[in-house]
Structure 1
Amino acid sequence: MPFFFLLAAGDSKTESLLLRVLVQLAVIIVASLVGARVAKWFRQPAVVGEIAAGLLLGPSCFAWLFPEAAAMIFPPATELIGTGEAAVRVMTPLAACMNVLSQLGLVLLLLLVGLEFDFSHLRWHGKAALATSLTGVVLPFALGLGLAPLIYSSLEHVNGAPVSYTGFTLFMGISMSITAIPVLARILMELDIVRTRIGAVTMTAAAVDDVIGWILLATVSSIVRAQFDGWRIAQMTFLSLAFFAFMVFLLRPAMKWMLRRCYVGEKGDEISSTGLGLVLVVLFLCCIATSLIGIFAIFGAFLLGAALSDELPLRKAMGSELREFLSVFFLPIFFTYTGLQTNVGSLNSWTHWLILAGILAAAIGGKWGGCTIAAWQGGFKLREAACIGALMNTRGLMELIVINAGHQLGVIPDSLFCMLVLMAVITTLMTTPLLLWLAPGTELEEPVSGSSLGRVGR
C-alpha cells in the first residue's frame, strides 16, 4: 500500500520526470540517427556514429559550447544529498531511468547475439578460441602492468591525494584486457558474419575474456579498497561454472521441450505470443542469476540465446520482432548516454600525447597482435587469424565501464581517463576498416561484401 500511495502522491513529479526522459530520448535518437548515417559514409558501423554522437553531445563539445542548453537537456547525472561529512553523491532519478533503459537494451542485444551463435565451428576450433581468449587477456594485461611504472610519475593527484600505485598499475592491466562484447556484437551483426567460424570463435573468445575481465575487475576493486576477499572470488567462479552447467544440462532441454509446443504456422516455423512471453521471463531470470553471481546480467542473456541457438523458429521470430526496434531505440540510448558522461578534452601537454601513443601501442599490440598469433597457432590461416585479432581489439564502451570504475575509486586521474577513452574509441574505429581490408581471400569475403558496410562506396 505505501508504494502505490507514493505513486499517486507523486503524480506531478512523475509527469515532470517523464517529460525530461522524453526530451532526452528525442535528442538522443535524432543524434544517433545522424551519427549512424555519417558513420556509414566512412564505412563504419552505426555504433561508431552513436558513440561519436554521445561524445559530441557531452562536455567535450555541446556542453562546452552551449552550457546552459546542455544543462537543461542533460542535467548532471548525480546530486549531493545531505550536508557536511554526511553528504553523499547519488544518481538522479532521470539518470537512473536512462541507465536502466540502456542496460535493458544490452540484455536484449546479447540474447539476439546468442541466438545467432553457431556452435558447429567450435568442434574444430575450440582450442583456437581458448588460446585466443587467454592470450587476449594475459598479454594486454602484462603490457599494461609494464607500461604503468613508466607513466605513473606524470600523473596528477586525484582530489589532492597521490594516486595509489598498486591500484593504478592493476587498473592499467585490466583496461588493456577488455573486449567489448556489445560493440563487437553490433559489428558482427552489421557485417553479417555472426554465424561464420571466425565470428563464432571471436564471440566465444570475447565472452570468456569478459568473464575473466569482470572477475579481475572485482578482484582489483577489492584490493584497492583493501578488502580483498579470496573466498568471494572463488565463490563467484564456482557459481558461474554451476550456472553454465545448469543452462546446458537442465534449462536447455526444458526450454526446447516447452518451445516445441509454442510453434505455430503452417510449417511450424513461427512462435506464439505465449512462447515469446516464456522466453522473456526465462531471459530475465537468467539475467537475475548472473547479476547475483556478480558477472553482470548481460552474460545470462548471451548464455540463454546460445543455449537456444538451434531453435530456428525462435531465432526468426526474435530477430524479426526485436532487431529493428532494438537498433533504433534501446542501443542508441546505451551508446549515446554513456558517451554523454565522458569528457575527452583535458589533454593539455605533449607528455599526455606521448603517453596516449604508448597506451595505444600497448593496447593494439597486446590485443590485435597477441590474438592474431594465438589464432594462427590454433589452426587458422594468417589472414583469418588477423581478422580474429582485429575483432578482439574492439573495446568500445565496455572499456568505459572499467575506466569509470577506476576513476570512481580514485586510481585513474582525469588526464589518464581521457587517454583511455580515446584508446577505446580508436581501437573500435580500427575494426571495420581492418576487416574490409583483410576479408578478401577468407570466409568473410562474401558476407562482408554483401553487408551494408561492404556495399558503401561501391
Structure 2
Amino acid sequence: MTTGVHANEDLLFSVLIQLIIMIGAARALNIVARRLGQPGAVGEIIAGLMLGPSLLGALAPDLSISLFGASPAPAITIISQIGLTLLMFQIGSEFEFGHLESPQHRKGAALIAAASVLVPLAGGLALGWITAPILAPGIDPTLYALFFGNALAITALPILGRILAQFGLTDKPVGVVAISAAAVNDVAGWVMLASISALAAARFSGGALALQLAGIGTLLVLARFVLAPLASRLVAAFPTTGGRIDPTLMAAMLALVFGLAICTYKLGIFAIFGGFLGGLIMHRHTGFVAAWKGQVGGFVLVFFLPVFFTYTGLRTNLLGLGPEDLSWLAVVLAVAILAKILPVYGAARLAGYTPAESAVLGSLMNTRALMELIVLNIGRDLGVIPPNVFTMLVVMAVVTTIMAGPLLKSLLPRTGHIIPRGVEA
C-alpha cells in the first residue's frame, strides 16, 4: 500500500513539473508571437513543438527524457483531450450563428465547405499517387494517396476559432461563415479518416459507413429536438446571476459536453466534436455563454491548451527531413496552399462576397495547425505515412497556420474591419 502511495506521489510530482514547463513556455511564446503580430496560438504551437524532439529532444535528449519520458504520459494525454473538448464547447457557444439565417451566408458556408474539401482532396490524391513510388515505397499506394488527400483537406477548427476571436471576427458574417464551413469540413475529414483507417485495417464496408452517417444524423436530430430544449429548461431552472453560473447548471453542462463527446467518439468522428455540438446547443443562451467564458474560458486557454500543444509536439520531430526532401516539401506546400485558397476564393465570389472578403475566407480556411498533426499521427500509427512525408506535412500544417496572421492583417482592412489593438502591429 505504501509503495502504491509513493508511486502515485511520484507520478503527481512528474506531471506537475511537466505542467509548469508547458504552461510557462506556452504563455511566453504566446506573448512573443503577439508582439510579432502573429496570433498567440501560433506561439503556443511553436512552444509545444520546441518542447518535443524537434528542439529540446535534439539539443538535450537526456533532459527531455527525464522531463517528459520517451512518450507522452497517459495523464498528459487525457488532460490534453479533455482540454480540447472544452475548447470546442467554448468555440461552438461563442459564435452567433444567426448570421446563417441570411441566404447568402448559408449558400456561402455550403459552397466554401464543399470547395475546401473536394479540391484539396483531389489535389492530395493526385500528389499521393505521383509520390507513392518515390516517397512511400512498400506502402499501399491507394491508402497512402487517400490519406494524403485527407490530410490536405483538413481545416483546423479550434485554432481557426482562436484566430477569429483574436481578430474580432467571432460575431462578423465572414467569421461565422468560415467557422461554419470549417465545422462541415472537419466532420467530412474525420468521417473520411475513419473510413480510411477502417480500410487500412481491412474492416471497411459500405454498410458500416452508411451506419456511421446514420448515427451522426440521428445525434444531430436528438441534439436539436431533445437536448436543446432540455438545456433551455435547465438554464431557466438555474438562471445565471451576476455573471456566475449556478454550480448545478455547470455540472449539468459538463455532463452534457462529456456525454456528447462519448457519442461522437463512438460514431468515429472523435470526441472533440461532441464538445463543439454542445456549444452549438448552448450558443443562444448569451448570459450563460458570457458567464462560462468568464469563469471557465480563461482557464481552458491558459491551462488545457498548452498541454494539448505539448502533447502533440512531443510526438512530432521536425528534424526528420533531409536535403533531398526539400524540393518535395516545396511541392507539398504549393499544392496544399493553392488547393485551399483558390477554390475557397472562387466559391465565396460565387456566393456573392466581395474580392476582399473572399480572400479573407480563403486565408482562414487555409489554417490547418494541430488538428492536422493529430491526423498525421494517426496516419503514421497506421503505417500509411512514412516518416519523411509525415514531417513534410507537419511543416505544411505549421506554415499554413503562420500564414493566417499576415494575410488577415493585410486583407481585413480592405473589408472595412478594424483589427483589434495588439494584433495590428
Q: What range describes the TM-score normalised by the shorter chain of this pair? A: over 0.9
Closer/same/farther in 2, CA of residues 62 and 378 from structure 1, 3 Å limit: same
Misfit runs of 4+, over 4 Å? none
- Which amino acid letter does the alignment assign opposite residue 402 of structure 1? V
Partner residue, 2:70: 76
The answer to whether the Cα contact below 8 Å between 1:28 and 1:337 also exists between their aligned partners in 2 is no
Partner residue, 1:345: 319
Task: Provide the C-alpha distance between the structure 1 equivalents of 2:244 and 2:16, rounded to a whole number of angstroms.
Answer: 34
Task: Provide the C-alpha distance between the structure 2 equivalents of 1:246 and 1:442, rounded to a whole number of angstroms.
Answer: 38
Task: Provide the C-alpha distance between the structure 1 equivalents of 2:277 and 2:34, rounded to a whole number of angstroms.
Answer: 31
The answer to whether the Cα contact below 8 Å between 1:145 and 1:172 also exists between their aligned partners in 2 is yes
Task: Provide the C-alpha distance between the structure 2 equivalents of 1:163 and 1:291, rounded to a whole number of angstroms.
Answer: 28
The answer to whether the Cα contact below 8 Å between 2:57 and 2:64 also exists between their aligned partners in 1 is yes
Partner residue, 2:31: 37
In structure 1, which of residues 28, 32, 52 is the aligned counterpart of residue 46 of structure 2? 52
SS at match of 1:179: coil
1:312 paired with 2:286, answer yes
Structure 2 unpaired stretches of 5+ = none
CA displacement 1:374-428 (0-9 Å, x = unmatched)? 1111121111011111111010011111111111122211111110000000000
The answer to whether the Cα contact below 8 Å between 1:135 and 1:374 also exists between their aligned partners in 2 is yes
Task: Provide the C-alpha distance between the structure 2 equivalents of 1:279 and 1:156, rounded to a whole number of angstroms.
Answer: 46
Q: Residue 153 of structure 1: CA displacement?
A: 2.8
Partner residue, 2:420: 450
Closer/same/farther in 2, CA of residues 189 and 151 from structure 1, 3 Å limit: same
Task: Provide the C-alpha distance between the structure 2 equivalents of 1:451 and 1:183, rounded to a whole number of angstroms.
Answer: 20
User: Number of residues paired by the alignment?
Assistant: 423
Partner residue, 2:122: 142
Partner residue, 2:208: 232
Structure 1 unpaired stretches of 5+ = 1-5, 78-93
1:104 paired with 2:77, answer no
Task: Provide the C-alpha distance between the structure 2 equivalents of 1:200 and 1:348, rounded to a whole number of angstroms.
Answer: 41
Q: Residue 451 of structure 1: CA displacement?
A: 4.5
The answer to whether the Cα contact below 8 Å between 2:321 and 2:388 also exists between their aligned partners in 1 is yes
Closer/same/farther in 2, CA of residues 310 and 373 from structure 1, 3 Å limit: same
- Which amino acid letter does the alignment assign opposite residue 271 of structure 2? A
The answer to whether the Cα contact below 8 Å between 1:289 and 1:297 also exists between their aligned partners in 2 is yes
Range that drifts further, 176-185 or 147-156: 147-156
- Which amino acid letter does the alignment assign opposite residue 305 of structure 2? L
Task: Provide the C-alpha distance between the structure 2 equivalents of 1:130 and 1:152, rounded to a whole number of angstroms.
Answer: 32
Task: Provide the C-alpha distance between the structure 2 equivalents of 1:217 and 1:417, rounded to a whole number of angstroms.
Answer: 16
The answer to whether the Cα contact below 8 Å between 1:271 and 1:313 also exists between their aligned partners in 2 is no
Closer/same/farther in 2, CA of residues 420 and 341 from structure 1, 3 Å limit: same
CA displacement 1:94-135 (0-9 Å, x = unmatched)? 621101111111111111111111122111211110110011
The answer to whether the Cα contact below 8 Å between 1:136 and 1:392 also exists between their aligned partners in 2 is yes
In structure 1, which of residues 10, 14, 17 is the aligned counterpart of residue 4 of structure 2? 10
Q: Residue 76 of structure 1: CA displacement?
A: 1.0
Task: Provide the C-alpha distance between the structure 2 equivalents of 1:392 and 1:429, rounded to a whole number of angstroms.
Answer: 13
1:388 paired with 2:361, answer yes
TM-score normalised over the length of structure 1 = 0.89
Task: Provide the C-alpha distance between the structure 2 equivalents of 1:190 and 1:440, rounded to a whole number of angstroms.
Answer: 15
SS at match of 2:204: coil
Partner residue, 2:398: 425
CA displacement 1:164-206 (0-9 Å, x = unmatched)? 1111111110010000111111111222211111111111111
In structure 1, which of residues 274, 296, 305 is the aligned counterpart of residue 248 of structure 2? 274
CA displacement 1:267-322 (0-9 Å, x = unmatched)? xx653222222211212112112112221111111112112211111011101011
TM-score normalised over the length of structure 2 = 0.96
The answer to whether the Cα contact below 8 Å between 1:29 and 1:329 also exists between their aligned partners in 2 is yes
1:132 paired with 2:112, answer yes
1:175 paired with 2:151, answer yes
Closer/same/farther in 2, CA of residues 252 and 451 from structure 1, 3 Å limit: farther
Task: Provide the C-alpha distance between the structure 2 equivalents of 1:401 and 1:185, rounded to a whole number of angstroms.
Answer: 17
- Which amino acid letter does the alignment assign opposite residue 244 of structure 1? L
Task: Provide the C-alpha distance between the structure 2 equivalents of 1:357 and 1:58, rounded to a whole number of angstroms.
Answer: 24
Task: Provide the C-alpha distance between the structure 2 equivalents of 1:248 and 1:451, rounded to a whole number of angstroms.
Answer: 38
Partner residue, 1:190: 166
- Which amino acid letter does the alignment assign opposite residue 422 of structure 2? S
The answer to whether the Cα contact below 8 Å between 1:47 and 1:335 also exists between their aligned partners in 2 is no
- Which amino acid letter does the alignment assign opposite residue 453 of structure 1? V
Q: Residue 245 of structure 1: CA displacement?
A: 1.0
Q: Residue 338 of structure 1: CA displacement?
A: 0.8
Task: Provide the C-alpha distance between the structure 2 equivalents of 1:10 and 1:374, rounded to a whole number of angstroms.
Answer: 60
The answer to whether the Cα contact below 8 Å between 2:129 and 2:142 also exists between their aligned partners in 1 is no
1:120 paired with 2:98, answer yes
Partner residue, 1:84: none
Task: Provide the C-alpha distance between the structure 2 equivalents of 1:22 and 1:264, rounded to a whole number of angstroms.
Answer: 34
CA displacement 1:418-455 (0-9 Å, x = unmatched)? 10000000000001111111001325x12xx225323x
Q: Residue 227 of structure 1: CA displacement?
A: 2.2
What percent identity do the matched residue pairs reach? 39
- Which amino acid letter does the alignment assign opposite residue 265 of structure 2? S
SS at match of 2:415: coil
Pair member with larger Rg: 1
Task: Provide the C-alpha distance between the structure 2 equivalents of 1:278 and 1:145, rounded to a whole number of angstroms.
Answer: 44
- Which amino acid letter does the alignment assign opposite residue 280 of structure 2? A
Task: Provide the C-alpha distance between the structure 2 equivalents of 1:441 and 1:156, rounded to a whole number of angstroms.
Answer: 44
